């Protein structure tokens, strides 16, 4: 294992050794501005996030709900480019020494060039990529170059995925498995539901990779619930909403830092609940 995929694995293992889930935050690059986005990523690390996913804004984000679509639109209208995404990764990693991934749809990478993107992401200190719309069967070229540059390839599984399909996906992936807690797009939900726990159980039957749950987690109570059974708790829309609702960039960054601290406390409470259940 080479490159920052090692850092990613070590971070997840360290959280497990503490008896807790990792807190994984998502923020789009270029939102509310490129510089503001970089400061927001640093802030959520300061607040208690273990890992950050930096979103590559896309004009047709099929997995993303209205909150993240709004942020992507702001970033795109601001002129964000892949170079800005890579700069966000580089500056966040350099400032914190913590694992930073890119979450992106396949089309921008395909147009940019797989070899070029993987080389530049690794050079920036990136730990890997989450690729929600890249079918495993078509991922050979990506995985070849990701492995060459020491990058994790994180695939997404859904509650609708059959067990055989989950096994195919987890065999091809690295870093961790992204388990979508429910069907649909990103966004806050009133509850995460039992579907997520069942999906984690099914994924663990196929792989030793950590299983991290996202889509719908937005509150400390939900983070606590998911931390009771998952290796990582992924939160995106709630961070974006805090920034969108703030009166200015500095206030938004402070609000994101505060939410990270609240969620980190929830994750640790979930660890205590998991420990009590196992004792």
Which of residues 194 and 180 earns the better pLDDT score? 180
Average pLDDT over residues 261-269: 93
Residue 61: predicted pLDDT: 59
Residue 58: predicted pLDDT: 87
Q: Does domain 4-267 have CATH number 3.40.640.10?
A: no
Tell me how far apart the alpha carbons of residues 193 and 195 are, in angstroms, rounded to a whole number. Answer: 5
Tell me how far apart the alpha carbons of residues 158 and 134 are, in angstroms, rounded to a whole number. Answer: 14
Beta bridge partners of 60: none
Residue 279: predicted pLDDT: 40
Residue 182: predicted pLDDT: 61
Least confident window among 8-22, 36-50, 182-196? 182-196
Query: Is the predicted pLDDT of residue 188 greater than 60, yes or no?
Result: no
Is the whole-model pTM more than 0.85? yes
Cβ atoms of 195 and 182 within 8 Å: the answer is yes
Query: Is the predicted pLDDT of residue 19 greater than 70, yes or no?
Result: yes
Average pLDDT over residues 192-196: 71
Give the whole-number percent of the chain exceeding pLDDT 90: 79
Active-site amino acid positions: 53, 64
Query: Is the predicted pLDDT of residue 144 greater than 90, yes or no?
Result: yes
Structure confidence at residue 185 as a pLDDT band (50, 70, 90)? very low
Q: In terms of DSSP H, where are the helices of the chain?
A: 5-17, 34-47, 66-77, 82-96, 106-112, 114-123, 140-148, 163-172, 194-204, 220-227, 237-245, 249-278
Query: Is the predicted pLDDT of residue 262 greater than 60, yes or no?
Result: yes
């Amino acid at each position: 294992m080479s490159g920052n995929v090692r850092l990613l694995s070590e971070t997840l293992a360290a959280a497990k050794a503490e008896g807790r889930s990792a807190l994984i935050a998502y923020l789009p690059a270029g939102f509310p501005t490129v510089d503001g986005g970089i400061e927001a990523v640093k802030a959520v690390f300061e607040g208690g996030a273990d890992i950050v996913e930096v979103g590559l804004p896309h004009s047709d984000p099929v997995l993303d709900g209205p909150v993240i679509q709004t942020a992507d639109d702001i970033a795109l209208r601001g002129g964000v480019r892949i170079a800005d995404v890579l700069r966000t990764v580089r500056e966040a990693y350099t400032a914190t020494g913590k694992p930073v991934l890119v979450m992106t749809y396949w089309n921008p990478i395909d147009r940019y060039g797989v070899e070029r993107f993987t080389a530049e992401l690794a050079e920036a200190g990136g730990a890997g990529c989450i690729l929600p719309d890249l079918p495993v069967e078509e991922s050979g070229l990506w995985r070849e170059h990701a492995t060459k540059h020491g990058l994790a390839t994180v695939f997404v599984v859904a509650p609708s995925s059959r067990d055989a399909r989950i096994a195919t996906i987890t065999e091809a992936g690295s870093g961790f498995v992204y388990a979508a807690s429910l069907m649909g797009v990103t966004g806050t939900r009133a509850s995460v539901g039992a579907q997520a726990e069942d999906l984690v159980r099914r994924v663990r039957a196929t792989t030793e990779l950590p299983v991290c749950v996202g889509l719908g987690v937005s509150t400390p109570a939900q983070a606590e619930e998911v931390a009771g059974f998952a290796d990582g708790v992924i939160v995106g829309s709630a961070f974006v909403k805090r920034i969108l609702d703030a009166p200015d960039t500095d206030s938004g960054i402070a609000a994101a830092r505060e939410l990270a601290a609240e969620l980190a406390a929830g994750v640790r409470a979930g660890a205590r609940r998991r420990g009590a259940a196992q004792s």
